[in-house]
A = this chain, B = another copy of it.
Amino acid sequence: MAGLRERKKEQTRRRITAEALRLFAERGFDGVSVNEIAEAAEVAKATFFAYFPGKEALVLQGVGEEDLAGIVARRPPGRPPLQALRASCRTFAEEAAETDWTEMVTRMRVIFDSPALSGAANALLYRRRWELARELVQEYGQAAAALAAAQIAATVLTLQETFFLHLIGGAPPREAARTLARDTELAFDLLEHGIPHGREK
């Protein structure tokens, strides 16, 4: 049974993120201090830091949590890693059409507006690159695994970025999702067959 303690904590957590996102959307990430957030959420600054490791975490929660390494690790035996990843991204694109992105989009707007945050979001990908690389080593060998992992991680990140940029730009979610589906296939075709030589508008 969900104890009173747990409920209150969850409630406070939500209140903090909600107030913070509201303020960020109003005045930008750098225009809001932790003190203001704490005050708006009616907690002490120390309490804020008991809930979140930092200001960035407020906006970055749930960003870049795709477990690429896990997808590869859990794939059925004999299946090429790229196929497993493609399938996973495909599923994501399909579900994207029926998801409510409004909250995520406000968060993404804040992220894209702040260079520091964009960088931090990037740093998240950094870690997952090496996890993925480790998973690919036995398949491709050290050197190729690191390179393949880098290409894959960068590709997935770019797919997401493009998707959210469309949403931020005001594209209707269903259209953005359709574009994402197309881009996903294109992306994995590039990964599997290489970048063409160009001059082919």
Q: Which residues of A approach B to under 8 Å, CB–CB?
A: 80-82, 115, 118-120, 122-123, 126, 129, 138-141, 143-144, 146-148, 150-155, 157-159, 161-162, 182-183, 186-187, 190-201
Kindly report how many copies of this chain are found in the complex they form together: 2
Contacts of A81 in B (CB 8 A): 198
A126–B93 CA distance with the chains assembled, in angstroms = 24
A196–B143 CA distance with the chains assembled, in angstroms = 14
Q: How far is the CB of A87 from chain B (nearest CB, A)?
A: 14
Contacts of A200 in B (CB 8 A): 140
Q: How far is the CB of A10 from chain B (nearest CB, A)?
A: 29
A155–B158 CA distance with the chains assembled, in angstroms = 14
CB atoms of A194 and B194 under 8 A apart: yes
Q: How far is the CB of A71 from chain B (nearest CB, A)?
A: 14
With A199-B139, A201-B138 given, is the CB distance from A190 to B148 under 8 Å?
yes
